[in-house]
Amino acid sequence: MNNPHHLNPTSLKSRFTTRFLRALTKIRAQKPISSSSPTEIFRRYRRIKVAADKSMAYSVRSRRIWSRAMLWKLRSRSYRRQDPCSGRRSGKTNQAIMKKSSNENTTTRREDGVGFVEEADELRQLVPGGETMNLCNLLDETAHYIKCLTTQLFSPIGKG
Amino acid sequence: MENQFFVNAGIQSPAPPLHFGSSMPMSDWQSLSSAMEIQSQDCFPTPNWEKPTDYGLQFESALSSMVSSRAASNCNVSSESLIIRELIGKLGSIGNGGEIPPHSQPLLASYINGNNSSNTSCYSTPLNSPPKLNLPMVDSLVKEKLPPKGLNSSVADFSADPGFAERAAKFSCFGSRSFNGRTTQFGPKDNTEFAAFRSNPLAANAKLPRVSSSPSIKAMVSQGTTTNKNTPLQDRSELANSQEESIVSEQNPNGEPGLKASNSRKRKAVPKAKTKETSSSPSANASKVTEPNEASNEKRCKLSDSNGHENGSAKAEEDAKGDKANNTKALEPPKDYIHVRARRGQATDSHSLAERVRREKISERMKLLQNLVPGCKKVTGKALMLDEIINYVQSLQRQVEFLSMKLASVNTRLDFNVESLMSKDIFQRNNTLQQPIFAINSSASTFFGHQPQQNPALHSNMSNGTMTQCSVDPLDTAICPKLNTHLPQINQFVETVPPQYPTFCEGDLETIVHMGFGQNQSQDMALHSQNFQGSNQVSHMKVEL
């Protein structure tokens, strides 16, 4: 049975799958599931989740606002984690920037004149990078984000 | 009816404000004529126009065609005078004849359009109305390109012409309608003078077909329909009308509050502020003109003021925004320009127009989202739909977390053959479920030890009901199979299994029923299921869908 859709090497699904597989193998290689402690499992879970987000964001590159925001978040997080000493400065600046931007965004209540402010705010919190978008772009990004999430869930890796 | 117009026109003072029913500004006429020259193409009345009845219509159509053709082409202003002279000649001949010989009309049409010989049909109707209108008008046009004062004089001339009054009335009624379908054929290259015209003709053209009530209009429409653009013609005529109106208002900034009032009254969609605006800066406004879309006009006025002539690109941008919004009465989608036209009975200030554009965009995107989110089609109302979307996104995110948790806990060897993994998509496509499918990993079979999965593609991970039960024997942490209903190899899943997996509310136990492991699996599954049952609490992950 030939399914040309996912045989397309450049499709979002294939890109995500390859990346995620690579990340998963790396994670598995680091710590084989020998120990069954919940903490270990939880840590692995976190890593896998980050890997999934990262793979998806990298598959989309910078074409989307949400992917850019997600990548930025991941990078800032990794910088902070990797270099706590010297990275403290950068981490602080990053945090400061993030906080400042988030504060600015949260304080600016976007009245788009269409009356969906509460729902729109909720959606902004769900979609990465949504705080900076107006309703129009937010809906666009939401559509693409939903599409990517479903791709993730239905990828042939153990997820689906 | 025509007589009344004529009478009124005659009574009209020479002052610009011809108080027609809809007050077609004389200056517009002039500008129209000047615009006519530039036309290279012809726009003919739409086929809808049934029968040309009067001279006014004829002339109107001629002018509109001229304007439209002018719009189509991008002649420079210098050729205006030439064309005008020619036009005058033609019109004069028409006027003299009393009734337009069929050939003269095509002459006029062809002249105007330059290329279209098929225009003759437009002007088949004899020019019944007095020819005087043409001559004085043409003369005035020739003499004074577009001086406001000159327009006044020409207005006086126009006022004398009953036919003109009639036409003005007809045009003015167009002006009040939306100009949907106005195209940007004119482009930014047009001079300021023409800019006004080109917008008008388009509008006029767009409106003409809608004015079905007027028999004369219908006649005009029926006449034409020659070559290509009915709608451009209509748009142009409309634009011409609106332009005329605006020009009139321009010219009467001080006086004629009555005219202004009438203009504003007549032009339902055209805001008064706009006319005042235009009147305040006639020269600049001449280029801008009369788009019933006040917002775009205002913007364009500013642009013209800065640039000296219409900024077509800016116009296009603004129009593009409103394009989707204004198509309630659009005849055709605009070609280059997308003129935002205020809908009938709606506010036309720039803010409301822009807001309407935004709302249209948002509703369009909501429709797209509706297709993505399952179960959203039944929901009516944007707020509820947004709630549905939010729930869906939340559920998807939680599903991803859930699955990554499973991946973390399950000690399965991943099959890194992407190809084989991808082939599972075949089943996924048939999967009517909205839940992710768990692939039976070949290594998963090692758990059971007894069932070598023949088909490596049929991978299904046994989901772990409880992630926290790490200490449980790996076999016990068997993941509950969520198999695709179409996996034939797994069709031996015993019916006994489903009752043993009531806790797997991920949900689709019925799928498990259809699925089957191998026969030899059934016993193992039963065994494991029992173990599973015993060991697993009901803390299965609930997948929100």
Say how far apart CA B172 and CA B178 lie, in whole Å.
12
Give mean pLDDT, residues A15-37: 78
- State the nearest Cα–Cα gap between A109 and chain B, in angstroms: 17
Which tokens go with B360? 């249209």
pLDDT exceeds 70 at position B523: no
Closest CA in chain A for residue B366: A139
pLDDT digits (tens, 9 = 90+) for B2-29: 555 444 444 444 444 444 444 444 444 4
Residues of A with Cβ-Cβ distance to B382 under 8 angstroms:
114, 116
The percent of residues in chain B predicted with pLDDT above 90, rounded, is 0
The pTM (predicted TM-score) of the whole model is 0.40
CB atoms within 10 A of CB B399: 24
Q: What is the H or E stretch that residue B350 is in?
A: helix B350-372
CA angle B416, B421, B424 (to 5 degrees): 165
pLDDT top residue among B410 and A113: B410
Q: Where are the alpha helices (DSSP H) in A36-134?
A: 38-60, 65-82, 86-107, 117-126
Inspect the interface and report whether the beta carbons of A143 and B369 lie closer than 8 Å. yes
The percent of residues in chain B predicted with pLDDT above 70, rounded, is 12
For tokens 């689709």, the residue is: B508
Say how far apart CA B219 and CA A67 lie, in whole Å.
59
Say how far apart CA B62 and CA A58 lie, in whole Å.
61
Report which listed range, A47-56, B128-137, B413-422, is most confident: A47-56
Instruction: Write the residue in A32, A44, A116 that is nearest to B382 by C-beta.
Output: A116
Read off φ and ψ for residue B280, nearest 5 degrees. Answer: -65, -35
pLDDT digits (tens, 9 = 90+) for A31-42: 666 666 788 888
Residue B208 DSSP class: G
Model confidence band, residue B137 (pLDDT cutoffs 50, 70, 90): very low
User: Which domains are delineated in chain B?
Assistant: 352-420 (4.10.280)
Q: List all residues of chain B from 335 to 394 with a beta carbon under 8 Å from chain A.
A: 355, 358-359, 361-362, 365-366, 368-369, 372-373, 382-383, 386-387, 389-390, 392-394
pLDDT digits (tens, 9 = 90+) for B465-502: 444 443 444 444 444 444 444 444 434 444 444 444 44
Residues of B with Cβ-Cβ distance to A122 under 8 angstroms:
390
Say how far apart CA B172 and CA B168 lie, in whole Å.
6
Say how far apart CA A111 and CA A134 lie, in whole Å.
9
DSSP B43-95: B---TT------HHHHHHHHHHHHHHHHHHS---THHHHHHHHHHHHHHHHHH
Closest CA in chain A for residue B545: A150
The count of CB pairs under 8 A between chains A and B is 170
3-class SS of residue A116: coil
B54 in Cβ contact with B166 (< 8 Å): yes
Give mean pLDDT, residues A129-134: 82
- Taking the alpha carbons at both ends of chain B, their separation in whole angstroms is 68
pLDDT digits (tens, 9 = 90+) for B181-237: 444 444 444 444 444 444 444 444 444 444 444 444 444 444 544 444 444 444 444
pLDDT digits (tens, 9 = 90+) for B58-114: 555 544 554 445 444 444 545 556 656 665 666 556 555 444 444 544 444 444 444
Give mean pLDDT, residues B233-246: 45
Interchain contact B404–A (C-beta under 8 A): yes
**Which pLDDT does position B139 carry in this prediction?**
47
pLDDT exceeds 50 at position A134: yes
**Which pLDDT does position A150 carry in this prediction?**
87
Say how far apart CA B437 and CA A160 lie, in whole Å.
4
B290 in Cβ contact with B203 (< 8 Å): yes
Residues of A with Cβ-Cβ distance to B426 under 8 angstroms:
1, 3
Inspect the interface and report whether the beta carbons of A49 and B401 lie closer than 8 Å. yes
Say how far apart CA A24 and CA B415 lie, in whole Å.
11
pLDDT exceeds 60 at position B356: yes
**Which pLDDT does position B164 carry in this prediction?**
53
B197 in Cβ contact with B243 (< 8 Å): yes
